[in-house]
Amino acid sequence: LNCRPFCLNDVLATNLPVCERSVVDVSLCALAAATNVANVTNSVAWACSADGYLTDYPCDSSSGIWCRDGAVERVVLGEGITGTIPSALGSLLSLTSFSFNGNDLSGTIPAALGSLTNLLIFSIKNTLVTGTIPVNLLEGLPALTTLYLVNNKLAGPIPASVGSLSA
C-alpha cells in the first residue's frame, strides 16, 4: 500500500491514501478544532475529517505552517486567531519556532509545550492568554533562545528557570 506522506504537494496530487493518523494529523487537527485558524489563514488547504485526519495539508507560509521532510518546523500565526492553544502541539517535536502574536487567543499556556526540545523561538505576545507560565515549559526547552510573553493576561511568578536560558 502506498501512503500519502505529509506536506509533499506533488505526491498529494496522486491521491494516495493516508495509512495512519500521524502526530502531525493529531496536532494540527487539534489546532484547527481549538481555534478559528482554518478560517483566518490564507490557505485553503486546512481541513480535517471527522475522525481527525488532515484531508489537506496546510504546509506553506500563507497558512503559517512551515514543514520540512514531513515534519512541522514552524507554527507562526498572527492576527485574527481566536480560541485556545491545544496541548497536542507539544507532540510536534521538530518545531523550532512557535509564534502566536497579536491575536485573541485565550486560555492558558499548555505545560505539554515543554516537550518541544528543539524549540528556538517561543512567542506569545499581545494575546489574551491567562494563567501562569508553566515551570516545566522553560525547563524542557534547552534550545530556546528567544522568549516573548509580553502584553498578555499572565499572572504569578516568573519561573526561576528563565534565568538559565542561553541567548
Confidence of residue 107 (pLDDT cuts 50, 70, 90): very high
High-pLDDT (> 70) share of the chain, %: 74
Give the distance from CA 123 to its chain's centroid. 11
Classify strands 71-77 and 97-100 as parallel, antiparallel or unpaired: parallel
Q: Tell me what pLDDT residue 44 has.
A: 47
C-beta of residue 77 within 8 angstroms of C-beta of residue 99:
yes
CA distances from 108 to 19, 87, 102 (A): 34, 10, 16
Contacts of 39 (CB under 8 A, 6+ apart): none
Share of the chain above pLDDT 90, in %: 29
Of 123-127, 133-137, 141-145, 157-161, the range with the lowest mean pLDDT is 157-161
More confident site: 10 or 160 = 160
Question: What is the rounded average pLDDT for all residues in the chain?
Answer: 78
Nearest to 71, CA basis, from 43, 52, 91: 91
Residue 154 near residue 129 (C-beta atoms within 8 A): yes
Q: How far apart are CA 75 and CA 88, in angstroms?
A: 13
Span 103-108, average pLDDT? 91
42-46, 70-74, 84-88, 129-133: the lowest-pLDDT one? 42-46
- Tell me the per-residue pLDDT of 26-70, one tens digit each, with 9 for 90 and over: 788 888 888 887 776 654 456 677 766 676 667 776 778 888 877
**pLDDT tens-place string over residues 154-167:** 998 888 777 666 65
User: Between residues 10 and 50, which one has the greater pLDDT?
Assistant: 50
Mean of pLDDT values over 15-20: 44
pLDDT at 18: 43
> pLDDT at residue 141 above 60?
yes
On the CB side of 156, CA atoms within 13 Å amount to 11
